[in-house]
Amino acid sequence: MAVYYDDKNKIFRLDTEKSTYVIGLSPEGYVGHIYYGARLYQEAAGYLLRMDEPPYTPSVNQREKSAFLDFFPMEYPTGGVGDYRESCFNVRNEKGCMGSEIFYVSHEVYKGKRGLEGLPASFGTEDEVETLEILCEDPILKLQVYLSYSAFEKENIITRSVRIVNMGVQTLKLEKVYSACLDMDDEKFRMLTLCGAWARERHIQECEVHYGKQMVSSAKGETSHQEHPFMALVTPGTNQVQGQVYAMNFVYSGNFIAQAERTQFDSVRMVMGIHQEEFSWNLKPSDTFQAPEIVLTYSGEGLGQMTRNYHDFYRNHMIRSPYLHKKRPILINNWEATYFDFDTEKLLSIAREAKACGIEMLVMDDGWFGERNSDDSSLGDWTVNEKKLQGGLRHLVEEVNAIGLDFGIWFEPEMISPNSELYRRHPEWAIQIPGREPTQSRSQLVLDLSRPEVLDYVYESVAVILRSANISYVKWDMNRQLSDMGSTYLDKDSQQELFHRYVLGVYALQERLVTEFPNLLLENCSGGGARFDPGMLYYSPQIWCSDDTDAIERLMIQEGTALVYPLSTMGAHISDCPNHSVGRSTPFETRGHVALAGTFGYELDITKISEQDRRMIPEQVRMYHKYHELIREGDYYRIASYRENHTHDCWAVSSRDKKEVLVTYVHVLGNVIAHSRKIKLQGFRPEARYCLEGTDLVFTGEMLMQGGFLISGLRGDYTSRLYHFIME
């Protein structure tokens, strides 16, 4: 039993295989946090709530209620009533006053897990997950607050979400609705986050949690290149194999905040949810507001165990695509090969050469529609440009299929160009502030997805194309952030709902898409990796990791991404050199090894690359076919980090039974050393013996992990090697 309630002591307990989460009730009905950490095997107690210490609970000492609220470890703190730490929930009544206080009413425990209306959310069978739902109420506002917790035992994951129901007669304005809070005593925590920029997404950053508030956030309408909806608090000395980790990841694709606050009493409050900036929601009588889900995990075995918890969870309980456990086709995308300058024959020439090398799919990127010959027109005009595609799209697809390749296509459905037929017909469909010249980015504006007619237009624009030909893959892009937040559809009291309604619109569109086209391979993208989050994984099994395809830049991008997300979700391609983003030249072999730690594909003009590189493609294709299942399904281990040592990078993927381990080593920079480099590996059975494929060498797993493996024979910067160990 994963969820248990001790009625005598008023304690809730959620257990996974390696962790326990404990919640307690005060005499007044405050819901407090008692414990989250290593699995407990004896009964839990509530003394950690400190209710027997001054200033005591309000029922004992009403005159110091504020002092009590300012230190009590709340499960879901509310604002305006005396807890001056970061609140999770702020609501304003019809008189304009902000304040709320919620108390326990009842609870429900059930096997399985319910979905969240209009939102992506994890799922599981009755044998895989058990759920606790605590009903709290603000008796003054007649407001119900449902705190939901689901325990996934095998993956050591607890998910949390919040649902708000207005049972009163007045319309309330929700001004902040976070999804989770974790109150703990400080253990000299360090805060680990993922930050970056365009082409440098999700670099790992770590800093001390000091007094006050430290946060990462996005107010750009998407999760963004710059910050990421993930935060972990780690104890000093935490690395891949040791230390305590408390992590949160947000199942949402819009504005977010993740914050840690060290208080005057040396406690730490960790919160996550929809960013309160430019957010409010009118909750009318009988209305419900559902906040998105948070995925929590605890690891007492360092970051490596946290990573594997998340990987298993997202593979088992978030991704729904039929491609989840299938080999993804090796594709070639024409973007860096041609940009906007292509026609049917150019695409077919790429397809013929790709087929000869063993590539399985051609993807036609931007420029096939309207008058789209550059990035300053035609978004929204999703009609085929037959000046480029002579004979039409269906003819092109049939010719590509006849060559023996599948066909994929690029869309940017959420955007509109001022220079487009659609904008000339419906300028009111763009997000805008009336009377103010809207800010353009990449010569485009954003469609107002709060409008039902816009959702219908966008969906049909995509669906009509997909119905017209044998298209098996879609790359769904979003190349700018949101600004000038105004809707000509929403009334003046609802304008601050636009950010959230936009995200709900994206989810609605993609839900319709995967419902009508269930066998479609959908890959999300946002100017590269600006919307790489668990919410999008609910609709697409892979996301374009970054527009920067340089193998060396990708080392840190993919290290940070793989800290949380399975390798099979990371869109990774081999591109031409000098690289189009950074100008660096790296060996074709190294580019292949780095892309293998992702979905694997090509982003180049195969008709123009050197003969030496072209001859390597069939070899790389065989490499992918040999290892794809291991990489997609296996356990990931981070061995060494170029981010930390500035010379080399190393990671491993082990089969679940540990019968085979694939190690990738990249020598980045540094003088050639006279002797080998020793690397302590992970992912082996200590007692087993392993053969190194291609050699006569045999090792015990124990020696490889405790003693190490010797890397030798690499010459020159940016060189790499794969090592495949197979159990005897």
> What are 351-401's pLDDT values in tens digits?
999 999 999 999 999 999 999 999 999 999 999 999 999 999 999 999 999
Residue reference for tokens 């319309």: 171
Domain co-membership, 336 together with 451: yes
- For residues 344 and 296, membership in a common domain is answered with no
Q: Using the predicted structure, report yes or no on whether residue 601 has a pLDDT greater than 60.
A: yes
Mean pLDDT of the chain: 97
The pLDDT of residue 650 is 98
Q: Is residue 633 part of a domain?
A: no
Q: Which of the four pLDDT bands, split at 50, 70 and 90, describes residue 716? A: confident
How does residue 675 score in pLDDT terms, banded at 50, 70 and 90? confident
Per-residue pLDDT of 217-232, as tens digits, reads 999 999 999 999 999 9
Count Cα atoms within 13 angstroms, Cβ side, for 294: 31
Q: Is the pLDDT of residue 673 over 80?
A: no
Query: Mind giving me the DSSP string for 438-491?
Result: PPPBTTBEEB-TTSHHHHHHHHHHHHHHHHHTT--EEEE---S---S---SSS-
The SS3 call for residue 562 is helix
In the predicted structure, residue 672 carries a pLDDT above the cut 80: no
Indicate whether 215 and 119 sit together in one domain: yes
| Within-domain flag for 153 | yes
What pLDDT is recorded for position 490?
A: 98
Asked if 408 and 497 sit in the same domain, the reply is yes
Task: For residue 477, indicate whether it is catalytic.
Answer: yes
The tens digit of pLDDT for each residue in 151-201 reads 999 999 999 999 999 999 999 999 999 999 999 999 999 999 999 999 999
- DSSP-derived pairing of the beta strands 660-667 and 677-679: unpaired
Check whether residue 280 and residue 414 sit in a common domain.
no
The tokens describing 495, both together, are 């304008």
**pLDDT digit string (tens) for 487-531?**
999 999 999 999 999 999 999 999 999 999 999 999 999 999 999
Write out the residue range of the structural domain in which residue 363 sits.
Answer: 331-560+570-618
- Exactly one of 138, 365, 381, 477 is catalytic; which is it? 477
Is 345 exposed, middle or buried, given 0-12, 13-18 or 19+ CB atoms closer than 10 A?
Answer: exposed
Q: Is residue 199 part of a domain?
A: yes
Q: Do the domain assignments include residue 630?
A: no
Residues 343 and 284 in one domain: no
* 412 phi/psi in degrees, rounded to 5: -130, 75
User: Model pTM?
Assistant: 0.97
Residue 265 burial (C-beta neighbours within 10 Å; 0-12, 13-18, 19+) = exposed
Which of the listed residues 317, 343, 377 is the one where a domain comes to its end?
Answer: 317
Residue 461, domain member (yes or no)? yes
SS3 of 127, please? coil
User: Do both 304 and 335 map to the same domain?
Assistant: no
- Give me the helix-helix angle, 588-595 and 611-633, nearest 10°: 20
How many distinct helices (H) and strands (E) make up the chain? Answer: 14, 39
Largest CA distance in the chain: 83
Q: Are residues 228 and 118 in the same domain?
A: yes
Task: Copy the structure tokens of residue 692.
Answer: 């190194």
Strand-pairing partners, residue 256, are 218
- So what's the pLDDT on residue 715? 82
Residue 609's Cβ-side half-sphere holds a number of Cα atoms within 13 Å equal to: 25
Shared domain check, 547 and 412: yes
Instruction: Tell me whether residue 325 is in a domain.
Output: no
Six-digit token string for 229:
């909806």
What is the reported pLDDT for 671? 63
User: In the prediction, which pLDDT does 1 show?
Assistant: 81
**CATH code: domain of residue 428:** 3.20.20.70
> In which residue are the tokens 């690029």 written?
410
* Dihedral sign, Cα of residue 172, residue 175, residue 179, residue 182: negative
In a domain, 632, yes or no: no
With CA atoms as reference, report the closest residue to 163 among 130, 123, 136, 142.
Answer: 136
User: Which of 295, 317, 339 is a domain's end point?
Assistant: 317
Find the helix packing angle between 551-562 and 588-595, rounded to 10°.
10
290-336, pLDDT tens digit by residue?
A: 999 999 999 999 999 999 999 999 999 999 999 999 999 999 999 99
- Number of domains observed in the structure of the chain: 3
Residues 652 and 614 in one domain: no
Q: Hey, what are 529's tokens? A: 């990796």
Q: Which residues contact 350 (CB under 8 A, 6 or more apart)?
A: 332, 334, 337, 362, 605, 606, 607
* CATH code of residue 706: 2.60.40.1180
Q: How far apart, in whole angstroms, are the C-alpha atoms of residue 572 and residue 595?
A: 5
Would you state the pLDDT for residue 714? 86
pLDDT 10s digits, 412-463: 999 999 999 999 999 999 999 999 999 999 999 999 999 999 999 999 999 9
Q: What is the spatial distance between Cα 709 and Cα 720, in angstroms, rounded to a whole number?
A: 15
* Residue 322 within a domain: no
Question: What is the arithmetic mean of pLDDT over 572-599?
Answer: 97
Residue 145 has pLDDT above 70, yes or no: yes
- % of the chain exceeding 90 in pLDDT: 98
Domain CATH number, residue 283: 2.70.98.60
For the segment 592-599, the average pLDDT, to the nearest whole number, is 98
Catalytic residue (one of 366, 381, 547, 613): 547
Question: Is the domain of 519 the same as that of 465?
Answer: yes
674 has pLDDT over 70: no
On the question of pLDDT at 62 being above 80, the answer is: yes
User: Which of these three, 265, 283, 317, is where a domain ends?
Assistant: 317
**Is residue 312 located within the same domain as residue 338?**
no
